[in-house]
Chains A and B, each alone.
Chain A
Amino acid sequence: MKAFLILEDGNVFEGESIGAAKEVISEIVFNTSMTGYLEVLTDPSYAGQAVTMTYPLIGNYGVCYDDMESLKVWPDGYIVREISRLDSNFRSEAGIEEVLKKHEIPGIAGIDTRALTKILREKGTMNGMITTNENFNKEEVISKLKEYKVTGVVRKVSRTEKEVIEPMCDMQGKTPLNVALLDLGTKNNIAASLARRGCRVTVYPAYTSAEEILDTNPDGIMLSNGPGDPKECTEIIAEIKKLYETDTPIFAICLGHQLMALANGFDTSKMVYGHRGANHPVKDLKTNRVYISSQNHGYVVEEDSIDPKVAEVGFINANDKTIEGLNYIGKKVFTVQFHPEACAGPVDTAFLFDRFIEMMEVSE
């Protein structure tokens, strides 16, 4: 079946329908990872977006459900050049299209994803529609696209019930550290990274009050990644401000990093097309070491808005020099824009979890 991708700027791509044959309007973004398509699909930060994979061959090694970063597929749509006919890997349990269908995600294949990426790079992220309706009225679609706005995605992706994840390692008699993880759209591997290091992780829904968390007297608080415009999360920001005021060590990733910045009066802005991929270099300004990181964000903390008395820049992006991490002065609080939990992508910055653990241990 034919499918069409209609962009806000009037560009139309014609391809083959994949996944669910339904119509969807979403924000179109691109990801440059060459592996890890399942991890991308199950990353809640993609809620409210349709993802274009720039690597042209998707589905080669099939789907291993263990690799899912959450229980669901989150993007509204999936845009690829080619879906592999055969999935080949010893762990593969299904083909990628099966997953799309099961989660009712529409998609389009067989389009020039590079041409699309160039449009997004030059004109910035924009809205688009994936449809199988050949008789669409372009003008009508475009006016609908212009009106469309992604809202309320954190509420959509976050869990409603608290969950406890026990340590996933031999504790050798030690008591585990209790970490409260605020689920703003968390990937599984954040909790798993902590649990593998001997933490008992309590995952809280995004709209949990600071009091509820602090009442349990956690050894540390972790703010997760998540989707959408950070400025929309005013209620959460207010709670984070309260968490910040305590002495509890806090480590925040991605959306968590942005919300912590906003809680401290800094500003965030939307990037032209964001950072999405597994090859982004971040530089630790203390050591000048550069690490390759996994990233997925369309908003960034504004450098000029940072109060140097409150926070100093920990990491910058080695390419465009944007803010990639903040260390809060006089506090046991550090935040990063990138994803040390990887999945998909390099695990080069996994040591940040160790840094967080050390911080908690010292605190104790």
Chain B
Amino acid sequence: MPKNKDIKKVLVIGSGPIVIGQAAEFDYAGTQACRSLKEEGVTVVLVNSNPATIMTDKEIADMVYIEPLTPDMLKKIIIKEKPDSVLPTLGGQAALNIAMELEECGFLKENNVKLIGTTSLTIKKAEDRLEFKKTMEKINEPCAASEIVTDVEAAVAFAGKIGYPVVIRPAYTLGGSGGGIAHTQEELEDICSNGLRLSRVGQCLIERCIAGWKEIEYEVMRDSNGNCITVCNMENLDPVGVHTGDSIVVAPSQTLSDKEYQMLRTSALNIITELGITGGCNVQFALHPTSFEYCVIEVNPRVSRSSALASKATGYPIAKVAAKIALGYTLDEIKNAVTQKTYASFEPALDYVVVKIPKWPFDKFIMAKRTLTTQMKATGEVMSICTNFEGALMKAIRSLELNVYSLAHGGYDQYSKDEIIELLHRIDDRRIFVIAEAIRQGVDYDTIHDITKIDKWFIDKIAILVEFEKRLKEEPLTKELMLEAKRLEFPDRVIAQFTGKTREEIHAMRKEMGITAAYKMVDTCAAEFEAHTPYYYSCFGSENEVKPVSTKKKIMVLGSGPIRIGQGIEFDYCSVHSTWALKERGYETIIVNNNPETVSTDFDIADKLYFEPLTPEDVENIVDLEKPDGAVVQFGGQTAIKLTEDLLKMGVPILGTSAENVDAAEDRELFDEILEECCIPRPAGKTVFTTQEALEAANELGYPVLVRPSYVLGGQGMQIAIGDDDIREFMAIINRTVQEHPILVDKYIMGKEVEIDAVCDGEDILIPGIMEHIERAGIHSGDSISVYPAMDLTTKIKNVIVDYTRKLARSLHVIGLINIQFIVFQDEVYVIEVNPRSSRTVPYISKVTGIPIVDLASRVILGEKIKDLGYESGLAKEADYYAIKMPVFSFEKLRGADISLGPEMKSTGECLGIAKTFNEALYKAFLGSGVNLPKHKKAIITVKDSDKLEAVGVAERLKNLGYTIYATRSTAKVLNEHGVDAIKINKIGKESPTVMDVLLGHDIDLVIDTPTHGRDKTRDGFLIRRVSIETGVTCLTSLDTANALLTSLENADKHNLEIIDVARI
């Protein structure tokens, strides 16, 4: 069926802020889909509240709305833009839900707008638990038996019917809190009664436990003519029980015979057919490990994280094809972009193995429970490709940037065999290393399998790696052994470690032996057809397929690796834009990255894509082949910056700011010299290595002080210390990982924090705008509400900021981007941090000012001058809009994580509020981040002593908004003394009503809890904050944030929110 000519203007809904479980994959999918729609001449209207995305660029969509994803805002956009269709299947669950709301209330019909890509009936059949069960029953597809209960008796009765163990999932609690697996009636009674209490609606789902079964996924496509294909299947190394997003996943499946493979494939096709999906769909199965019995776990009637992975794993562009299908094309009419010869109606054949490993935030949240369950905890993932499983696993491990390069990690050799066997029971992010140690210590496969339920095939693969470690230790390093080591993807440094040689020696030996990496193409067809995709992976002992010849100059763009807290999607935005700019200037671009969720790893972004770990050795192998004329590192976050020195050693010139100058900004002493030369003040500080030195420095500077390692991102390990005990605690935490660079101890100044990004050409600077943080210094800039343009700065201060920026840019010889953070305190401007590279705020400031800074920076890097690019030097004219960037957190997903904000970044994403007035922008920003108040008009306030007086003002404002205030004993006392009525509630464990009682009444809107110091988990505050988050109550830990929220509630008239097309700025 050819294209449907009635579709001329399509509204594409994005997925909103990055949160755990809904990350960059939807920017990838959305961007690909928008480009695919535009290719067909369709006008694309885009809405997404996330400004760090590529899809919200005016190059990607025709009209761009960075607005909160609420039904009201979408209605406004639809009324204004009059699209004929809405495409809701590319923005994850968020987009699907909102489209359903618009459809169900009849709005779409009234406005003659069609849902394309899916129908509301399809969504309902797939998403509604009961409808889904009914649908599966109709086509004889089995699901795990389950029932919703409202009392313990019913739960026990149902469990009696289906047999133990059973899974308990309380309704409407977040992060799987209150849930669990019960093996006995006692356990069930215990978990269920607690779950019912935690559930806002007093419901629990009791489900047959299929934990330990094989978890298998199929990515399926279907068109309007009923043609169905599977793009690929994937097998989770971690059996059912661990969320697929937290599982190590391999594609294609490894332990399924053709009979099992086809049985599940047929089931997946039956399901997509019955649901009537037109587009992509993901079906997850649990397969009994010793029979043909299976259950359908879940169906996602949309593109998903798994489909992003499947796209990258196979080269089949799922989102692009899904968009074409939505326009009416059938699979056999859509060309396979990879081969240019075949069509989308085929199934990719892989001739390699793909391994995905999640990237977890446990390095940030050291208190969080690392246990992996059915609630996803990973923020991102890495993917690797190799011709064997062992190699793919090894490559994926080192791609995680954990400073881990093999399976010998975690210090498990300290444990006895019995202890290791005990540890095998613990399902967390370190399990694979424990299994490796178990094998090392001679635990047999059966024992490991019985405990972990991981298929023995995978255990054997881990064993092959472990055995090889031993061979390296014991045998002479012959060419044969070296070749095998490289075939299994042991990096030089690991071979060095096991053979007692240096990395350099191994490198030299390897060169001598002529052992070099070969590159193979990802071509969707196992070499059956000639392909044209410049998408490559490396392996050893094979023939190289890449022809490095080019008539153009080559520039290598180093990507930013997996999404993590502190290094998110914004760096992919920068990498992609830089690549485009370089391409446009006539260069051949080469991207190296390992994140399957991103736009940069789409094969049609750069001229060549190398899907590889971002370690020096892996990059060097590419450099040896491609011999690039230069490399760009300033757009790929810390991941790329870290490679600077090695690239120089390989003889690759770094384009833009030189390595020495990057160093100068990070090296405290060099940097101090520069500041002194420029007469720029900074808070007094010292560099230290040991705890003793840190204590001395802190006492000399006087508390409070800021403690942090240098060369880190997102303020990792950064803390405010108010006494010696804190210093001891923080230094111990920082030194858990070996520090190559000194630790910084700085005087902490609690002023207003201000931030700029600037483009510098060595002489001139261009500052698109000054951003001001709402929270006082001390809260990480990534976690602060950021306001553009800065509101409370005098012209004089602004001039000082511009002056300092110019001086710093010149002294550091910055060519490209620079990000500077200032503190304004008592009319004095202090510099607190300088990063001569792209930053988190780059996409946001580009969009609200309309100044394409990555593009400009890329051109400057190539030698152009700011004034030749049509811009004036200095601070750009302020835009007509206020744009407020609101951090978004994923605390509910991370049990045990402390949610209180501080110098270490904790947010996973951000959204934007943009409006003509500050108040409206602020309201939109809160709305976009999911704060939609008031509801019940009840709040709990409990603050630390130093905040008590300031809390009076906050309480008063809440009162004026009609709120009832509950406060803990001492807070209540201060509030009442100052004439603000507050109901006193007791500490946890004291007589009723306690804080917990009030919270579990499920009618609290807001908790304001500023934490007292320390990381003690047993404190009341910690519990209150956790319970708030887990029961879905807004919880703020800074009075600045609370005041901002109140301002927004007091002022915004929410029915009059105006929408702004950012593409027209």
Contacts of A288 in B (CB 8 A): 225, 330, 332
Determine if B265 is an interface residue (Cβ-Cβ < 8 Å).
yes
Determine if A188 is an interface residue (Cβ-Cβ < 8 Å).
no
Tell me the B314-362 residues at the A interface (CB within 8 Å): 330-332, 341-343, 345-353
Is B525 in contact with A32, judged by CB distance below 8 angstroms?
A: yes
- Shortest CB distance B1041–A (Å): 52
Q: A34-B350, A35-B257 are in contact. Are A115 and B528 (CB under 8 A)?
A: no
Is A279 in contact with B542, judged by CB distance below 8 angstroms?
A: no
Rounded to whole angstroms, the CA-CA distance of A344 and B256 in the bound complex is 12
Query: Of A56, A67, A279, A290, which one neighbours B331 at CB under 8 angstroms?
Result: A290
Is B530 in contact with A121, judged by CB distance below 8 angstroms?
A: yes
- Shortest CB distance B276–A (Å): 15
Contacts of B342 in A (CB 8 A): 318-319
Is B457 in contact with A112, judged by CB distance below 8 angstroms?
A: no
Determine if B638 is an interface residue (Cβ-Cβ < 8 Å).
no
Determine if B456 is an interface residue (Cβ-Cβ < 8 Å).
yes
Is A280 in contact with B350, judged by CB distance below 8 angstroms?
A: no
Contacts of A159 in B (CB 8 A): none
Determine if A346 is an interface residue (Cβ-Cβ < 8 Å).
yes
Query: Of B228, B351, B457, which one neighbours A84 at CB under 8 angstroms?
Result: B457
Determine if A71 is an interface residue (Cβ-Cβ < 8 Å).
no
Contacts of B528 in A (CB 8 A): 30, 32, 54, 117, 121, 273, 277
Q: A114-B526, A281-B346 are in contact. Are A56 and B387 (CB under 8 A)?
A: yes
Is B460 in contact with A290, judged by CB distance below 8 angstroms?
A: no
- Shortest CB distance A214–B (Å): 36
Contacts of B520 in A (CB 8 A): 114
Q: Do most interface residues of chain B lie in helix, strand or loop, or is the interface mixed?
A: loop
Determine if A39 is an interface residue (Cβ-Cβ < 8 Å).
yes
Query: Of B253, B332, B353, B545, which one neighbours A281 at CB under 8 angstroms?
Result: B332
Contacts of A89 in B (CB 8 A): 255-257
Contacts of A55 in B (CB 8 A): 252, 349-351, 526
Rounded to whole angstroms, the CA-CA distance of A273 and B525 in the bound complex is 14
B-contacting 9-mer, from A57-65, A177-185, A226-234: A57-65
Q: A281-B345, A288-B330 are in contact. Are A91 and B257 (CB under 8 A)?
A: yes
Tell me the B565-599 residues at the A interface (CB within 8 Å): none
- Shortest CB distance A219–B (Å): 28
Determine if A289 is an interface residue (Cβ-Cβ < 8 Å).
yes
Q: A67-B259, A288-B225 are in contact. Are A279 and B349 (CB under 8 A)?
A: yes
Is A67 in contact with B347, judged by CB distance below 8 angstroms?
A: no
Contacts of A290 in B (CB 8 A): 227, 229, 330-332, 345
Rounded to whole angstroms, the CA-CA distance of A183 and B464 in the bound complex is 44
Contacts of B389 in A (CB 8 A): 57
Rounded to whole angstroms, the CA-CA distance of A292 and B265 in the bound complex is 11
Is B262 in contact with A319, judged by CB distance below 8 angstroms?
A: no
- Shortest CB distance B513–A (Å): 16
Rounded to whole angstroms, the CA-CA distance of A243 and B1051 in the bound complex is 88
Contacts of A292 in B (CB 8 A): 229-230, 345-347
- Shortest CB distance A11–B (Å): 11
Determine if A194 is an interface residue (Cβ-Cβ < 8 Å).
no
Is B262 in contact with A121, judged by CB distance below 8 angstroms?
A: no
Determine if A348 is an interface residue (Cβ-Cβ < 8 Å).
yes
Is A90 in contact with B290, judged by CB distance below 8 angstroms?
A: yes
Query: Of B253, B388, B526, which one neighbours A32 at CB under 8 angstroms?
Result: B526
- Shortest CB distance B1044–A (Å): 54
Q: A32-B525, A67-B258 are in contact. Are A88 and B457 (CB under 8 A)?
A: yes
- Shortest CB distance B49–A (Å): 39
Determine if B266 is an interface residue (Cβ-Cβ < 8 Å).
yes
The chain A residue sitting closest to B291, CB to CB, is A90
Is B346 in contact with A319, judged by CB distance below 8 angstroms?
A: yes
Query: Of A90, A112, A121, which one neighbours B543 at CB under 8 angstroms?
Result: A112
Determine if A44 is an interface residue (Cβ-Cβ < 8 Å).
no
Contacts of B269 in A (CB 8 A): 348
Is B256 in contact with A35, judged by CB distance below 8 angstroms?
A: yes
Tell me the A262-283 residues at the B interface (CB within 8 Å): 273, 277-281, 283
Rounded to whole angstroms, the CA-CA distance of A84 and B463 in the bound complex is 13
Tell me the B253-300 residues at the A interface (CB within 8 Å): 253-259, 261-262, 265-266, 269, 289-291
Identify which of B265, B331, B349, B525 gathers the most chain A CB atoms within 10 Å of its CB. B349
Contacts of A87 in B (CB 8 A): 457
- Shortest CB distance B351–A (Å): 5
Determine if B527 is an interface residue (Cβ-Cβ < 8 Å).
yes
Interface string of B208-228 (1 = CB under 8 A from A): 000000000000000001111
Is B351 in contact with A56, judged by CB distance below 8 angstroms?
A: yes
Is A279 in contact with B347, judged by CB distance below 8 angstroms?
A: yes
Determine if B455 is an interface residue (Cβ-Cβ < 8 Å).
yes
Determine if B871 is an interface residue (Cβ-Cβ < 8 Å).
no
Q: A54-B351, A288-B330, A290-B227 are in contact. Are A345 and B526 (CB under 8 A)?
A: no
Tell me the A197-255 residues at the B interface (CB within 8 Å): none
Is B289 in contact with A90, judged by CB distance below 8 angstroms?
A: yes
Rounded to whole angstroms, the CA-CA distance of A273 and B526 in the bound complex is 14
Q: A86-B456, A319-B341, A319-B346 are in contact. Are A56 and B256 (CB under 8 A)?
A: no
Determine if B529 is an interface residue (Cβ-Cβ < 8 Å).
yes
Rounded to whole angstroms, the CA-CA distance of A159 and B351 in the bound complex is 35
Query: Of A39, A85, A88, A318, which one neighbours B455 at CB under 8 angstroms?
Result: A88
Is A281 in contact with B343, judged by CB distance below 8 angstroms?
A: yes
The chain B residue sitting closest to A342, CB to CB, is B262
Contacts of B529 in A (CB 8 A): 121, 319
The chain A residue sitting closest to B456, CB to CB, is A88
The chain B residue sitting closest to A37, CB to CB, is B258
- Shortest CB distance B229–A (Å): 6
Determine if A113 is an interface residue (Cβ-Cβ < 8 Å).
yes
Query: Of B226, B388, B455, B530, which one neighbours A56 at CB under 8 angstroms?
Result: B388
The chain A residue sitting closest to B530, CB to CB, is A121
Contacts of B541 in A (CB 8 A): 112
Query: Of B227, B255, B257, B261, which one neighbours A289 at CB under 8 angstroms?
Result: B227
Is B258 in contact with A343, judged by CB distance below 8 angstroms?
A: yes
Is B526 in contact with A61, judged by CB distance below 8 angstroms?
A: no
Query: Of A54, A61, A273, A277, which one neighbours B257 at CB under 8 angstroms?
Result: A61
- Shortest CB distance B337–A (Å): 14
Query: Of B259, B289, B349, which one neighbours A277 at CB under 8 angstroms?
Result: B349
Is A54 in contact with B346, judged by CB distance below 8 angstroms?
A: no
Rounded to whole angstroms, the CA-CA distance of A242 and B351 in the bound complex is 45
Determine if A36 is an interface residue (Cβ-Cβ < 8 Å).
yes
Is A113 in contact with B345, judged by CB distance below 8 angstroms?
A: no
Contacts of A60 in B (CB 8 A): 254-255, 457
Is B387 in contact with A81, judged by CB distance below 8 angstroms?
A: yes
Contacts of A86 in B (CB 8 A): 456-457, 460
- Shortest CB distance B251–A (Å): 10
Is A32 in contact with B291, judged by CB distance below 8 angstroms?
A: no
Tell me the A38-95 residues at the B interface (CB within 8 Å): 38-39, 54-57, 60-61, 64, 67, 81-82, 84-91
Is A283 in contact with B332, judged by CB distance below 8 angstroms?
A: yes
Identify which of B253, B345, B352 gathers the most chain A CB atoms within 10 Å of its CB. B345
Q: A281-B332, A319-B346 are in contact. Are A345 and B258 (CB under 8 A)?
A: yes
Q: A112-B543, A279-B349, A319-B342 are in contact. Are A57 and B388 (CB under 8 A)?
A: yes
Besides A112-B543, A319-B346, 14 new A-B residue pairs in contact (Cβ under 8 A), listed by A number: A32-B525, A35-B257, A35-B262, A57-B254, A60-B254, A64-B257, A87-B457, A113-B351, A273-B528, A277-B526, A283-B345, A288-B332, A346-B265, A347-B262
Interchain residue pairs A-B with the least CB separation, the first 9: A36-B258, A88-B457, A279-B347, A54-B526, A86-B460, A32-B349, A90-B290, A35-B258, A115-B543
**A interface with B by C-beta (< 8 Å):** 30, 32-36, 38-39, 54-57, 60-61, 64, 67, 81-82, 84-91, 112-115, 117-118, 121, 273, 277-281, 283, 288-292, 318-320, 342-348
**B interface with A by C-beta (< 8 Å):** 225-230, 252-259, 261-262, 265-266, 269, 289-291, 330-332, 341-343, 345-353, 387-389, 455-457, 460, 464, 520, 525-530, 541-543, 545
Pairs across A and B, CB under 8 Å, 11 listed: A32-B528, A36-B258, A56-B351, A56-B352, A61-B254, A279-B347, A288-B330, A289-B225, A290-B229, A290-B330, A345-B262
